[in-house]
Structures are given as C-alpha cells and as structure tokens.
Amino acid sequence: MTQGVDTDVDIRAAYAADASGLVHVPDGVARPESVEEVAELLRQASTDRFCVTPAGSQTSTTGASVAASGVLLSLQRMNLILDVDPIASTMRVQAGALVGDVKRVADAEGLLFAPDPTSENECTIGGAIACNASGARTLKYGATRQHVRSIKVVLASGDEITLRRNGLEKNTAGYSLAHDPVDWFVGSEGTLGVVVEAELALLRRPDLVIGTAVPFRSERDALAFVAAARRARDARFLDARSSQALDPRCLEYFDEPALTIARSADDQPGWAEGAAAMVYLEQEATSDTADAALHGWLALADQHHAYDDIRAFTSEGELRHARAMRHAVPVTMNERGARYTAVGGRKVSTDWAVAYELLHNAIEESRKLARDAGVEQAVTYGHAGNGHPHQNYLAFDAAHLARIEHVVEETLKMVVRMGGTVSAEHGIGKLKRRWLSLQISPLAIGVMRAVKRELDPHGLLAPGNIF
Ligand SMILES: Cc1cc2nc3c(=O)[nH]c(=O)nc-3n(C[C@H](O)[C@H](O)[C@H](O)COP(=O)(O)OP(=O)(O)OC[C@H]3O[C@@H](n4cnc5c(N)ncnc54)[C@H](O)[C@@H]3O)c2cc1C
C-alpha cells in the first residue's frame, strides 16, 4: 500500500465513524505530521488515482468526515499553534489544532477568536474552516469565514498554495467568485483541497459578558421575545444614536424537552419548573453599561410574559456552566441516537434556517408535519436569533428513520418556500446531498461542479460530500 498509509484493521475501524452515525471503513488511514507528508500523499493519490477524504476530529453530523472509499487523511497530528501576534491580532495555526485551544491561547493575550461551535473543545480549526462552522455568537460575529485571513492548502495535485485575503474594498476584475480564493475553501467540506495551516483574525476580548436565561410559558412567547430582541439589535445597528441598550451576541432557544436536558447538566435542576421554553442570551458590556443592559432585558422579558425566575450568569465560571448546559443538548441527543445505529436508526438532525421573523411559523409547520406523519416531536433548540434552530429526531430503526426523513424533507421544502436554507451550519456532507437541489438551482450546482472540476479534475477529494 501507499507510503504513509496504514491499513491495519483496528486503525481503519477507529476512523470509520463520525458524529453522524454513518459508518464507512476506509481502505487506509494516513496521519501525517507535516505539510510535506500531506503533499506527498496527494501526489501519490493523483498519480495512482485513489481518493482522499480529509478529517479533523470527525465531529461532522453529516457523514462528511468518513470515507466510503480510499484513504482517510487525519490532520489531528498537525495540531501546533505556530505563533500569536498580539499587535496585529492574528494567530497562525496548523489545521489539527482544536478550536478550544485556539480560543484559550487568544484569551491569554486578551484576545478573542470569535467562532464558537458548541463542539469547540472537540473540533479542529481545519474542520471548522472546511465547514464554515458557526455557533451561538455568530449572531454578533458571523461564521468562521470572516475570521480567516490566510490559508495554506494542498491541492488534489499535491501542489501547495498559500492564499491571503487581499483586503480590497473595491474590485471589478472579472467574476466576484474569483476575487477571494480563500472563500473557495471555507465551507468546501474537504472537496477542493486540504487546509494545512491558517492565519486567523482575532478580536479584542470584551470587558464583561452578561448571560441571562429567561423561562417562558409558551414557545410562541419565547420566539416573539427573540424576534423583538433582534429588531432592537438591528435598530441599534442602523442608528448608533439609538438609546436601545439591547445588543445581544447570542439568542439561543430551548423548547421544553431541550430545557429538560439542559437542566440535567444544571446545578439547580429544579429551576424554572413548569416552563415550556427558555431563551438564553448573552450581551457584552462594560461596568458602566451592564446595569442598563440587564434592565433592558428584564423589561423585554416582562413584555413577553416571561416567568420571574430569570437567571443571570456573570462570572467566568457561571458563563462556562451556562455553556455546558447548552452543550448538553446535542451531546445527549448524539448519545441517545448512537444507541440505535446497530439496528439502522440514529439521531436525525436538521440545521435549516429562515428569516428570524418567520421562525415561529416554520417551527409550528414542522411540528404539524411530524404530527401528521405520526412521528414524535423533535427536540428543538439553538440559534433562534439567526432564525436557525436544530431539530433532533431519534430514529429507533430503519423503518422509523425513513418516516422521519420524510418529515425532514417536507420541512425543508416548506423552509425553502419561505426563502430559507436547507443547511445553515453543518453543511451537506453525505447525508443531506439529496436535499441540496431543493434550494440550489441546477445552474448554480453546475457552477459549483465547474469549480470542483478545475481544482480536483479526477474527483479524488472527499467523494460523496456535497454532490
Ligand atoms: C456535539 C456537537 C455539537 C456541534 N455543534 C456545532 C456548532 O455549534 N456549530 C457548527 O458549525 N458545527 C457544530 N457541530 C458540527 C462539527 O463539530 C463542526 O462542523 C466542526 O467544525 C467539524 O470539525 P472537525 O474537526 O470535527 O471536522 P471533521 O468532522 O473531521 O470534518 C468535517 C468536514 O471538514 C473536512 N475537513 C476536516 N479537516 C479538513 C482540512 N484540514 N482540510 C480540508 N477539509 C477538512 C472533512 O472532509 C469534512 O468534510 C457539532 C457537532 C457535534 C458532535
């Protein structure tokens, strides 16, 4: 077999699954420690025509980081943080560095790496770039894309290129899709090249963060609160003189079952007993603005009939605790789903999004579709401030899975009719390919294929992802 590729049965089995529940045993596993080794592997792949699927920590929920054929290329051993420049506010890292480690190193310099996928302590920066990962704070900071300044990529040919954002404010040279090639690779799910290094843009760490958990009597009230908060934020954004004190960096929704799971990770498990929904929000502040912000949130909560039992999280430890409660929801649902993979079931997870004003309607419609199909309601939670919930269903076996996927497909059609997207966060991978065309026209898919052909003419990289 090819140099640097391990074909040991146990090693291949160790890389056969990701968080999606999909299992594909690769023909071999490569675990390079240098850019040169990655380049050599891809040169061999190009010569001998075998496929290579890059992988970080394999936390993909879409089957994007398992290889149905060929070599699984794990970047985990290339995990160095190469340097931090506190003056330029940048950090250079190898692709296998964990997002959580990047954030901790930035924090020690008084800086912030803003993207915050819930999986940040497990997932790699290469994976986050390849998926354009986002998180709760995407509401304020956007997804990973805008925090990447430069990348080093090994192409399917084995050639190594370094791409840097040009920072141009005006540019009319040809098609805009060629203006910033960094963007070809961000979100490309391993299909266009292997990211081996990146230079990340860091921000100044905020002085203070206030977290607030607001329990509600109904889903309707909770989502009306979110929409009002977004409107207040946008008004402030449009008019800097606005007196509005509300400037959330995240607006996260929990329906009743999601709240029950979050409570199981809480130090006050009896908190907000009887609540039908909860919104967790964070706002950055200074010691001068914190009180006004908190009062603003309490007033808005009151207008939307929230329970009085509102909790504030202000210290580092309390905010970490709140984050752990949020993380408990996907982790618990993944664990529950994993119980059924042996019999053809799994967790089925959606990441559709609509305009935030339409979120309540969209969730209501999806609940009706599930009811009509006799499918148990999804656990629904997540980034409501971006109009982007996660709906997690549990399929107990293959027949149940088919019924759930029918509900998901009908939900996605409804979402697209509302002008939304079939995937706002986790990408298409292998599990959502059939739904891409609900949203993206044949013409646009043709343009994507042309880009793929140009960069990977033999279709060797991450086969089965996206297309
Ligand atoms: C509990 C849980 C919570 C999650 N929460 C979030 C969330 O809040 N937000 C979010 O966006 N996602 C979330 N995810 C999904 C996933 O964690 C992210 O997409 C993450 O960025 C993937 O990183 P990874 O290192 O695990 O990549 P992998 O899963 O190994 O790979 C993901 C994709 O990236 C490609 N890839 C990986 N490394 C490279 C590289 N160096 N070069 C080129 N391609 C590469 C792979 O081929 C694959 O297509 C969650 C997953 C779990 C299990």
d(CA 136, CA 140): 9
Query: Does any ligand 1 atom lie closer than 6 A to the CB of residue 55?
Result: yes
**Domain span at 274:** 208-334
Q: Return the ligand 1 atom nearest residue 143 CA.
A: 11
Q: Is residue 355 part of a domain?
A: yes
pLDDT (mean) for 98-104: 98
Spacing, Cα 229 to ligand 1 middle (Å): 30
Task: Report residue 126 as tokens.
Answer: 């290469």
Q: Is residue 22 part of a domain?
A: no
pLDDT (mean) for 48-73: 97
Query: Does any ligand 1 atom lie closer than 6 A to the CB of residue 354?
Result: no
Number of structural domains found in the chain:
2
- Same domain (yes/no): 389, 291: no
- Same domain (yes/no): 230, 272: yes
- Same domain (yes/no): 315, 346: no
- Same domain (yes/no): 241, 292: yes
d(CA 326, CA 85): 32
Q: Is residue 213 part of a domain?
A: yes
Q: Is residue 232 part of a domain?
A: yes
Q: Where are the beta strands (DSSP E) in 184-307?
A: 194-201, 203-204, 208-216, 248-255, 277-285
The yes-or-no verdict on residue 331 having pLDDT over 60 is yes
Spacing, Cα 128 to ligand 1 middle (Å): 5
Element (H, E) at 370: helix 359-372
Query: Does any ligand 1 atom lie closer than 6 A to the CB of residue 18?
Result: yes
- Same domain (yes/no): 418, 347: yes
Query: Does any ligand 1 atom lie closer than 6 A to the CB of residue 389?
Result: no
Kindly report the CATH number assigned to the domain that includes residue 403: 3.30.70.2740
- Same domain (yes/no): 346, 324: no
Q: Is residue 187 part of a domain?
A: no
Dump pLDDT digits (tens) for 257-266.
999 999 998 8
Give the pLDDT of residue 310.
95
Give the pLDDT of residue 396.
96
Question: Best mutation site among 53, 60, 98, 103 for ligand 1, i.e. most ligand atoms within 8 A of its Cβ?
Answer: 60
Query: Does any ligand 1 atom lie closer than 6 A to the CB of residue 97?
Result: no
Question: Final residue of a domain: which of 305, 334, 363?
Answer: 334
- Same domain (yes/no): 305, 348: no
Taking every pair of Cα atoms in the chain, the longest distance, rounded to a whole number of angstroms, is 67
- Same domain (yes/no): 352, 376: yes
- Same domain (yes/no): 327, 351: no
Give the pLDDT of residue 3.
85
Spacing, Cα 59 to ligand 1 middle (Å): 5
d(CA 350, CA 368): 16
- Same domain (yes/no): 277, 384: no
Q: Is residue 360 part of a domain?
A: yes
- Same domain (yes/no): 306, 348: no
CB contact set of 145 (below 8 Å; sequence gap of 6+): 132, 183, 186, 187
Query: Does any ligand 1 atom lie closer than 6 A to the CB of residue 64?
Result: yes
pLDDT (mean) for 105-109: 97
Ligand 1: residue whose CA is nearest its atom 9: 117
Give CA separation, 22 vs 121, 296, 332, 432, in Å: 22, 45, 18, 12
pLDDT (mean) for 385-404: 97
Dump pLDDT digits (tens) for 210-254.
999 999 999 999 999 999 999 988 887 656 555 558 899 999 999
Give the pLDDT of residue 368.
98
Query: Does any ligand 1 atom lie closer than 6 A to the CB of residue 117?
Result: yes
Give the pLDDT of residue 464.
97
Q: What number of helices (H) and strands (E) belong to the chain? A: 14, 18
* Amino acid at position 215, single letter: P
- Same domain (yes/no): 344, 330: no
Give the pLDDT of residue 1.
60
Give the pLDDT of residue 268.
84
Ligand 1: residue whose CA is nearest its atom 5: 118
Question: Final residue of a domain: which of 334, 366, 401?
Answer: 334
Give the pLDDT of residue 269.
79
Query: Does any ligand 1 atom lie closer than 6 A to the CB of residue 123?
Result: yes
Average pLDDT of the chain is 95
Query: Does any ligand 1 atom lie closer than 6 A to the CB of residue 190?
Result: yes
Q: Residue-wise over 384-405: b if at least 16 C-beta within 10 A, else e?
A: bbbbbbbbbbbbbeeebbeebb
The yes-or-no verdict on residue 150 having pLDDT over 60 is yes
The yes-or-no verdict on residue 175 having pLDDT over 70 is yes
Query: Does any ligand 1 atom lie closer than 6 A to the CB of residue 195?
Result: yes
* Percentage with pLDDT > 70 across the chain: 98
Query: Does any ligand 1 atom lie closer than 6 A to the CB of residue 67?
Result: no
- C-alpha closest to that of 19 among 390, 422, 386, 448: 390
Give the pLDDT of residue 237.
65
pTM of the model: 0.94
Q: Return the ligand 1 atom nearest residue 429 CA.
A: 49
Q: Is residue 56 part of a domain?
A: no
Spacing, Cα 452 to ligand 1 middle (Å): 20
Task: Report residue 294 as tokens.
Answer: 């908190």
Question: Final residue of a domain: which of 271, 303, 334?
Answer: 334
Dump pLDDT digits (tens) for 418-433.
999 999 999 999 999 9
Q: Is residue 159 part of a domain?
A: no
Q: Return the ligand 1 atom nearest residue 190 CA.
A: 44
Spacing, Cα 60 to ligand 1 middle (Å): 5
Q: Return the ligand 1 atom nearest residue 54 CA.
A: 47
Kindly report the CATH number assigned to the domain that includes residue 322: 3.30.70.2190
